[in-house]
Amino acid sequence: MSQPKLLLDYIYEHETNRANDIYLTQPMGGGEVVDFTWAQMMDQSRRMATYLKAQGFESGSRIGILSKNIAHFMMAELAIWMAGYTTVAIFPTEGADTVNYVLTHSEASLLFVGKLDSFDQQMAGIPAGLPCIALPLSPKNSYRTWDDITTKAEAIAGKPARAGDDVCFIMYTSGSTGTPKGVMHTFEGATRASEGIVDFQDKENGGSFTYRALSYLPLAHIFERAWIECAGFVMGRGRIFFAEALDTFVQDLQRARPTVFISVPRLWLKFQQGVSNKMPPKKLKSLLRIPILGNIVRKKVLTQLGLNEVKLAGCGSAPLPPALLQWYRDLGLHLSEGYGMTEDFAYSHSTNKKQQALGYVGVTYPGVQRRLEQDGEILIKSPGTMKGYYKQPDLDAEVFTVDGFFRTGDLGEALPDGQLKLTGRKKELFKTAKGKYVAPAPIENIINESPMVELSMVSGVGQSSAYAIVVPAEGLRPKLGDAAVRAEFEAEMISVLKRVNDTVADYEQLRMIVVAKEPWSIENGQLTPTLKIKRNKIESAVEPNIEKWYASKGSVVWS
């Protein structure tokens, strides 16, 4: 009986059967674009694999990649796998301290340096003496280049195999709760989960649809790595495009015309706000109700966004406000909300065309088991469940049950048909002076429905009642110096406060909404690289002002 295929087996098949199909499309700047067929991609990866193998690192050695998403990120990963090693990718926005922590903790033997915006600062984090290779599009440096190596090395021959329990990569979590943890994924787990992702996409889209994806969410994060890279390696057909820069994102989308598009709530919100800036929401809503004209408007809006050919749109990483989800569905874009973690290869739950209740993250994927503990904690056993945390067996014992379920730390409740609703994180629950627990996430979801809000955070540990901090929408921020705009924003926040307090239990009601002094960002350390809020960082930053805020009389406080 033949063994089930692993990622590399699929890749070797595509290398043979799809040799001349274009698979990767990379913008090089200045309007230039380079395409790579399966044969070209594999030729370069095989040559680099020969070079890596010749370095004599022991089997399973960790090789780092510090880069934004580019075609050569995927080629480097394939080379690492074929040479018998394990990939450790670092978020391209991380500071020198985290770069150093990941490379040191993983005991990396070599680092690929790719396309980056802040390499001058990050360089200090690279351990002295660590060999580095510059990928195409990397910042100016003195490292030996990918092109120099691959033009001189012979391509590794045959089909170098990896065992199912070999670790293909270690994913370091984005550290929203502290020090990053190294999540180990095996070839077996990664393959089985990726097969499930491909089956889900095919089922939702009625068979072998034309697959086009734009890779722009960080490949150092499990969502992009699983749903775009590894699922693409299993599927083989279709094409992956890369984004050039934030400024060219719309053109990048227009070039790719994706049929599969995954994103995070903040970007879906930005798209919506962009549309609302051009057409007032009430006007759009009334136009969509008009027969025939409504369809023309839908098509026009989605075409301007570059999403008119999308068959499967997905959102993950953080909760999506139900009103925002409905807005896209009204536009005719079937937006699926999913739930997954680094630890389960982002293969856990998703809505589908039949089960898509607003505010729910859907049902389990095939092969996934879910259990709810008495306190509501969600336990998951997935084909993609991690092997464990790198060098932290004590943590493994903490997060796994005796029968192999992973304790997610998330709280939830389920409908009779299995659809899951997330009600918060166990660690994020806090008590006010009233002595009852408040779950911030559902309250933040209500606040985030306001078109004037970009992000929010609910807090209030030990206080008489909870409060919220909001970051005004990006397009609104420069106008808040205008008294009329400021008054309009305040009126909206008073309305949001009333909506929240009319909805939640009395002990969850908010005393006030505080307007953040400056937006939270990756750069100021208040957002993770996947745009999730770092609660403890924000709470520490505002601590000196808390007393003053509670002493103020207004329900909207400008910090």
| Cα gap 556→244, rounded to integer Å | 40
End-to-end CA distance of the chain: 67
Q: Which amino acid is it at 497? A: L
| Cα gap 353→362, rounded to integer Å | 10
- C-alpha distances in Å from residue 197, one per residue of 224, 235, 264: 12, 10, 18
Phi, psi of 520 (to 5 degrees): -80, 140
Residue 59 contacts residue 36 (beta carbons within 8 Å): no
Contacts with 435 (C-beta within 8 Å, 6 or more apart), sequence order? none
Q: Which amino acid is it at 215? A: S
The DSSP symbol for 165 reads T
The DSSP symbol for 477 reads G
What pTM did the predictor assign?
0.88
The DSSP symbol for 124 reads G
Give which of 60, 54, 57, 84 is closest to 154, Cα–Cα.
54
Which pLDDT belongs to residue 274?
84
| Cα gap 375→378, rounded to integer Å | 9
Which pLDDT belongs to residue 523?
87
Which pLDDT belongs to residue 489?
94
CB count in 10 Å sphere of residue 452: 18
Residue 404 contacts residue 369 (beta carbons within 8 Å): no
Which pLDDT belongs to residue 307?
92
Structure token pair of residue 468: 């919220």
Q: Are strands 86-90 and 132-134 parallel, antiparallel or unpaired?
A: unpaired
Q: What sign has the CA pseudo-torsion 298, 301, 303, 305?
A: negative
Which pLDDT belongs to residue 399?
94
What is the set of domains in the chain, with CATH numbers? 29-186 (3.40.50.980), 212-388+415-425 (3.40.50.12780), 429-558 (3.30.300.30)
| Cα gap 552→467, rounded to integer Å | 13
Residue 153 contacts residue 48 (beta carbons within 8 Å): yes
Which pLDDT belongs to residue 316?
82
Which pLDDT belongs to residue 556?
93
The DSSP symbol for 282 reads H
Residue 119 contacts residue 134 (beta carbons within 8 Å): no
| DSSP secondary structure letters along 294-359 | HHHHHHHHHHHHT-TT-SEEEE-SS---HHHHHHHHHTT--EEEEE--GGGTT-SEE--SS---TT
Element at 196 (helix H, strand E): helix 187-204
| Cα gap 91→475, rounded to integer Å | 27
Which pLDDT belongs to residue 180?
85
CB count in 10 Å sphere of residue 279: 14
Which pLDDT belongs to residue 82?
98
To the nearest 5 percent, what fractions of the chain are helix, strand and coil?
Answer: 40, 20, 40
Compute CA 506 distance to the chain's CA centroid, rounded to the nearest angstrom: 34
E strands within 340-452? Answer: 349-350, 363-364, 369-372, 377-381, 388-389, 406-414, 420-425, 430-431, 437-438
Element at 449 (helix H, strand E): none
| Cα gap 435→433, rounded to integer Å | 5
Q: Per-residue confidence of the chain (559 residues) as pLDDT tens digits?
A: 568 999 999 999 999 999 999 999 999 988 899 999 999 999 999 999 999 999 999 999 999 999 999 999 999 999 999 999 999 999 999 999 999 999 999 999 999 999 999 999 999 999 999 999 999 999 999 999 999 999 999 999 999 999 999 999 999 986 555 678 999 999 999 999 999 999 999 988 877 778 999 999 999 999 999 999 999 999 999 999 999 998 888 889 989 999 999 998 888 888 888 888 888 888 988 998 898 998 999 999 999 888 999 999 999 877 788 888 889 999 999 889 999 999 999 999 999 989 989 889 999 999 999 999 999 999 999 999 999 999 999 989 999 999 999 999 999 999 999 999 998 888 888 888 888 889 898 899 899 889 899 999 999 988 889 999 999 998 899 999 999 999 999 999 999 999 999 998 889 999 999 999 999 998 888 988 878 888 888 998 998 999 999 999 889 999 8
Which pLDDT belongs to residue 178?
63
Lookup result for tokens 């049929």: 259
Which pLDDT belongs to residue 318?
75
Give which of 87, 344, 313, 312 is closest to 193, Cα–Cα.
344
SS3 24: strand
Structure token pair of residue 466: 């909870």
